[in-house]
Structure formats: C-alpha cells, structure tokens
C-alpha cells in the first residue's frame, strides 16, 4: 500500500496542533486518568483500535491511564444465546446466580482480553484484571432488588499503582468480591470506575458514553456543571434513565477526591485526546472544591 503524502499545509497544521498541546501535556504529566470505556464502540473493531491508540498515546506522553470497561451488549448477547432473561431496575442489571456467572465469564474473559490485545496491538503494555484480583473492589449488595449487584465499600488500589508505575496500563473488569461470603458481584461499570477514580485520587475520570453529555431542560449539552446542579436536575427529572448512574458516579468520585469528571461522547474520534489535550474539550465536566473520602481505602 502506498503511503499517503501530506501537503506542506497539512504538515504545518499538524505541527501547530502538537505545539498547542504542549501546556496540556505538561499539565497532565504523571496524572492519573481513569477512563470508563463502554457502549457500542466496544463492538466495533475500528473504534476499539482507535481507543487503544489514544490510551497508548496518553501513556507515551506521561499520563497514567487506568481503563475500566463495561460490556452490556456482549453480556446481553451471551445471555440470549443461553436463554437467560435480563431485567433492569433504575438502569442497573438484575443479577441472579446464573447471570453473575455469565457476567464474570464475558467481562473478565472475552471483553477484558479483547481490550488488552487492542492496546498491545497499538504498541502499549497492558494487563487485564478484575475487581476480584488482589481484592481490588470489595462489595456488599447494592439493593435486594438487584441481586448480585455490588456496591464497593473497600478499595485496595495498590495493584493499579504498581502496574502504572511500571509503565503498564491496567484494564479492569467490573466484577468484585463480596465482603461477607466472598460472593461474586457484578458492579455497574460506571460505579466501578468512579470508585477506582476516587480511591486513586485521580486527576480525571472520563466516562465515555453514547450521548454528547448531560443535557439541560431545553436539550442543550451543559459543558460545566456543579454537583448541586446535578442533584437539582435529577430531582426534577431532567436527568433520567441511563444518565442517572453516570451522574451518581460523578458525584461519588468527586466526593471521594477525584478532581474532575467528564461525561463525554465516546463516538467522537479521539474523544479522550480532545478532552485532555485541546482547548475545545468534550462533553460535560463536573467539578467540586469540597472533597471527602469514601469508600474506605485499605491500601
């Protein structure tokens, strides 16, 4: 295949963009950025490869990315093949014993290793783990209506620090250990990402979704939102459906010490780079100056 030749104008534009990114590269050097990857992009090979390149570039310029993934569509496919029906309550999957076994198989196996391989193919180093490894996430049942759906109450994030300090990108499947009887719990991917970001005191949490961001009552995307505005919009019904667990995650992560959370459209090409390294940014950013620590971080 013949290489594409850039014109001088194209080359100058590329060089200009790189130059303009310098202050952002300096700003995020050695920063911890937790990225929740999910949605339909996970089922598209080209989108997966692009995401992997972006994460490898982040690592290459000194950012410490931690990837937390979902896998709802893949879980749905497998449950359908096995004849197991799914129900959802407030945007979260009801998980019985049969379902949690399928969830662990799909998330910790198929999905996790596919992302790891994509990062490796892009020239990075990655290790896939689940929340059960080294007791990364220890949970209690979130709600009796949800069955084996966990709420993290203890975070042991040293394994993540060990990996990214060694130049390895951790890729985390949101499956966790139960506090009482070592049960296996399914954890909402957004919830897991928020708990990890809070425990790591991350500089940023990026929640990649299939929507442009949080919209106000008129349908316009809000680029900057306060926690109080999130609570008011949820109470009034402006924030509803699948956006509720995402904004709940943002509030929890900020209260635990994450500096800022951005809910952004993962379908936009190079969405993470656009958010971190350009003036434009992407999606809706939520920030607070009053952090508090929860859940308890053991190590």
Question: 287 among the known binding-site residues?
Answer: no
Q: Are 185 and 150 in contact (CB under 8 A)?
A: yes
The dihedrals phi and psi of 215, each to the nearest 5 degrees, come to: -105, 145
Q: Say if residue 189 carries a ligand binding annotation.
A: no
Tell me: cis bond preceding 13? Omega within 30 of 0 counts.
no
The continuous run of DSSP H or E covering 276 comes out as helix 271-277
93 has binding-site annotation: yes
The answer to whether 149 and 93 are in contact (CB under 8 A) is yes
Tell me whether residue 198 is annotated as binding: no
How many CB atoms are closer than 10 A to CB 173? Answer: 29
Q: Are 196 and 128 in contact (CB under 8 A)?
A: no
Contact yes or no for 42/48 (Cβ under 8 A): yes
- The DSSP secondary structure of 36-79, one letter per residue, reads EE-SGGGG-HHHHHHHHHHHHHHHHTT-EEEEEE--HHHHHHHH
Strand partners, 140: 151
**Positions at the binding site:** 71-72, 93, 186
Residues making up the annotated binding site for substrate are: 71-72, 93, 186
């Amino acid at each position: 295949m013949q290489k594409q030749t850039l014109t001088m104008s194209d080359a100058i534009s590329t060089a200009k963009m790189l130059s303009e990114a310098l202050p952002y590269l300096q700003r995020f050097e050695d920063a911890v950025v937790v990225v929740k990857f999910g949605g339909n992009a996970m089922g598209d090979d080209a989108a997966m490869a692009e995401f992997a390149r972006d994460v490898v570039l982040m690592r290459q310029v000194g950012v410490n990315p931690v990837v937390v993934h979902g896998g709802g569509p893949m879980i749905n496919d497998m449950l359908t093949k096995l004849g197991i029906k799914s129900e959802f309550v407030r945007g979260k999957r009801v998980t019985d014993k049969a379902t949690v076994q399928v969830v662990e198989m799909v998330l910790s196996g198929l999905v996790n290793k596919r992302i790891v391989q994509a990062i490796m193919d892009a020239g990075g180093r990655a290790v896939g783990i689940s929340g059960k490894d080294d007791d990364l996430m220890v949970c209690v049942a979130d709600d009796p209506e949800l069955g084996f759906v966990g709420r993290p109450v203890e975070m042991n994030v040293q394994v993540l620090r060990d990996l990214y300090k060694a130049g390895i990108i951790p890729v985390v499947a949101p499956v966790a250990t139960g506090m009482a009887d070592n049960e296996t719990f399914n954890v909402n991917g957004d919830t897991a990402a928020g708990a990890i970001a809070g425990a790591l005191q991350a500089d940023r949490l990026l929640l990649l979704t299939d929507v442009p961001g949080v919209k106000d009552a008129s349908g316009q995307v809000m680029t900057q939102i306060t926690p109080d505005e999130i609570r008011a919009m949820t109470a009034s019904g402006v924030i509803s459906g699948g956006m509720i667990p995402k904004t709940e995650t943002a509030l929890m992560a900020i209260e635990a010490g994450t500096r800022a959370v951005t809910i952004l459209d993962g379908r936009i090409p190079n969405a993470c780079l656009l958010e971190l390294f350009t003036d434009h940014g992407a999606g809706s950013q939520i920030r607070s100056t009053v952090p508090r620590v929860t859940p308890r971080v053991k190590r």
